[in-house]
Every structure is written in C-alpha cells, then in structure tokens.
Amino acid sequence: MNLLIVGGTGTLGRQVVRQALDEGYQVHCLVRSPRKASFLKEWGAHLIQGDLCEPETLKAALSNVSAVIDAATTRPNDTLSIRQVDWEGKVALIQAAEAVGIERFIFFSIMRAEKFPHVPLMDIKRCTEELLQKSSLNYTILRPAGFYQGLIGQYAIPVLEQHSVWLMNEANAVAFMDTQDIARFAISALSHPETAMQTFDLAGPKAWSPDEIVKLCERLSGKDAKIARMPLKALRGARKLARFFEWTWNVADRLAFTEVLVSGQPLNASMDQVYPAFEIDAKTIVTLEAYMQDYFSRILKKLKEIDYQKSKRQSSKRSPFKSS
C-alpha cells in the first residue's frame, strides 16, 4: 500500500513515517521544505514538496497513493494561522482525497474536542471530525490527550537545569502517551478495516497531574525542582493581549488551550475497547515512568561524560608534563 503522510517532520508525524517504513509501506511525505525533511528521505520516504495551504499541490501529492495519514498542525511560530492550516488546509486535503478516491484516511484530533467550542483549535478539530464523518472517506479519527515528548521541555529540562518549572494550580491530570505508541495505532488502523468510520480516544496508562510529573522528574534526576505557580488570571490576561495584535494570534489561540487544562475534568478515557480493536497489547504501551527514566539516564550519562572530558582537559592544562 502506498501512503501519503502529511506532517511527517513533526513530533508525531516522524514516528508515523518511521513505523510505516518499518512495516514495509511505500511512504510519500508532503513537506513544505525538502531540506528540513531530508532525514525522512534518508529513512527511505519519497518527498513531495507542497503545502496544505496551496491546494494545487495536493492533487499531485495524492496521485499513486491509496491511504493518507494526516499528522499536520500549525506551528506556534508560523506565519500561517490555525484557521488557515488546521481548517482551510484540512478541508482542501479532505476534498482532494475524496476527489481521487483515497481508500483510507487517518486523522489526528484531540481528546474531548467537542467540549470546548470557545477554544479555536478544539473547535476546528471538532468541525474536521464532522467533515470526515460526512465525507465519503473510510476515515479513522484518533484523539490523543497529549504527548510525553512535550513534557521534556516543560518539566525535565527545567528541573535538570534548576530553572523554574511553571505550574498552574488548577490544572487537570492528563493521560499523556508516547508518540511512538500513538503512531502504532495509526499504522495498525491501515490493516484493521473494522476501525474505519470510527473515532477513538487514545489515553496513556495513567493521567498525570503537573505536581506528580514534577515529583517524578525530581526522583529520577536527584534534583529539587524550583516551582513557580502561574495564576490562571495572568494567563487569561496574556491571551487577551496577544489577541490584540494580528501577529500574535497563534500565541493567543495556544493560550486559549489553557481552558482545556483547567476545565476541572482530567483528559483521560477508557482504553478497554481500543486496544482490542487495534490488536495492541496494553502491556506494551510505554509508561511515563519508563519514558522519563530512559530520558534521564541518557542525559545524566551524557553530562557525566562532558564533566569527565572537562576535568581531563583542565588537569592536562595544569600539568607541566604535556603528553605527546
């Protein structure tokens, strides 16, 4: 089966590409910058230059493929808005896929998207889900709650570097998942036709509150976190300010996402029906403890090596007897 993956350079998309190639699929990737995406080519994917916001590029990208996995979304620092990429771009992709008769279409939404009509990205995800449900496509919608990968910059690095970890008191627990596991569901959907015309929430093994994640990072790094508490009011104020200037609309829309995190309900779901549908064994899903343990042991080993090299250089500088 020939696949088109959109968003292949992204955090999740690259895991989808990797696994699709490992499973023996012929992988085509729609990329905006072939230079930036050169690693995908090295892995064995075929690159097609295009852009969701340039609909004329989509028809060519869809020729010779029978399935699409869409893992694209607006980059926070992009000049294109959430509306342009995640709505107008996706409408163009879905319409083009229908026009050429794509057999399978996998789309990534976000858990509980329908509950937040005032949060732009969530509302757009809900509208896209509805568009797919009304389309002629054999779609599967996957709705993760969040990625472990995002927790490195937010928690692990600040704890290691002794910088402030910003926490919101009111934040709910979130059942994050490793993107490698999320990618497994997308690839498995292709070989499980019974997952077509269905929507699945994807929750990790446990919903984690921010304080629990900090404690985990402290335990694994052996360092005490410097915690800074962020008042919700301040974030709402910052969002209003960012809405004021057109060039900070993406930032404002991201800040709106705070409302999802303080809704009072954990972002979590039962996976009882999901694992069997994709024939994925729950025991093989990576836990956050294991993911963080792996991260910290790799980074602490690296830091030890750097310290060792530094002390070796310093002692050879001090020594009057230079080794030849």
Ligand X SMILES: NC(=O)c1ccc[n+]([C@@H]2O[C@H](COP(=O)([O-])OP(=O)(O)OC[C@H]3O[C@@H](n4cnc5c(N)ncnc54)[C@H](OP(=O)(O)O)[C@@H]3O)[C@@H](O)[C@H]2O)c1
Footprint on this chain of ligand X (rule: CB under 6 A): 6-13, 32-33, 36, 51-53, 71-75, 80, 85, 89, 108, 110, 144, 146-147, 150
CB of 105 to ligand X, least distance (A): 13
Least distance to ligand X, CB of residue 35, Å: 10
Tokens found for residue 225: 């976190």
Give the whole-angstrom CA distance, residue 204 versus residue 181. Answer: 9
Q: In the complex, what is the shortest distance from the CB of residue 138 to ligand X, in angstroms, rounded to a whole number?
A: 19
Rounded to the nearest 10 degrees, the angle between the axes of helix 13-22 and helix 179-190 is 50
36 vs 304 by CB, closer to ligand X: 36
Dist CA 44 CA 38 (whole Å): 10
Torsional sign, CA 98, 120, 110, 255: positive
Q: Confirm if 89 and 131 have CB atoms less than 8 A apart.
A: no
33 vs 64, which CB is nearer to ligand X?
33
The answer to whether the beta carbons of residues 124 and 52 sit under 8 Å apart is: no
Output the smallest distance, CB 135 to ligand X, in A. 17
Q: Are the C-beta atoms of 90 and 128 separated by less than 8 Å?
A: yes
* Residue 317 burial by Cβ neighbours in a 10 Å radius (0-12, 13-18, 19+): exposed
CB of residue 7 to ligand X, shortest distance in Å: 4
Q: Which residue's CB is nearer to ligand X, number 259 or number 300?
A: 259
Judged by beta carbon, residue 50 or residue 158, the one nearer ligand X is 50
Task: Name which of 72 and 175 has its Cβ closer to ligand X.
Answer: 72
Whose Cβ is closer to ligand X: residue 166's or residue 300's?
166
Residues 64 and 300: their CA atoms lie apart, in Å, by 46
Q: How far is the CB of 54 from ligand X (least distance, A)?
A: 8
Closest residue to ligand X, judged by C-beta, is 10
Query: What is d(CA 26, CA 42) in angstroms, rounded to the nearest whole number?
Result: 14
For 40-67, give the DSSP string.
HHHHTPEEEE--TT-THHHHHHHTT-SE
Cα 235 versus chain centre, distance = 23
Q: Please state the separation of Cα 269 from the chain's center in Å.
A: 18
Give the whole-angstrom CA distance, residue 115 versus residue 265. Answer: 11
The nearer residue to ligand X, 84 or 300, going by C-beta atoms, is 84
Select 178 or 296, whichever has its Cβ closest to ligand X: 178
Tokens (6 digits) for 185: 């569901």
| Smallest distance, ligand X to C-beta of residue 317, A | 43
In DSSP terms, which residues pair with 196 in a beta bridge?
Answer: none
CB of 177 to ligand X, least distance (A): 9
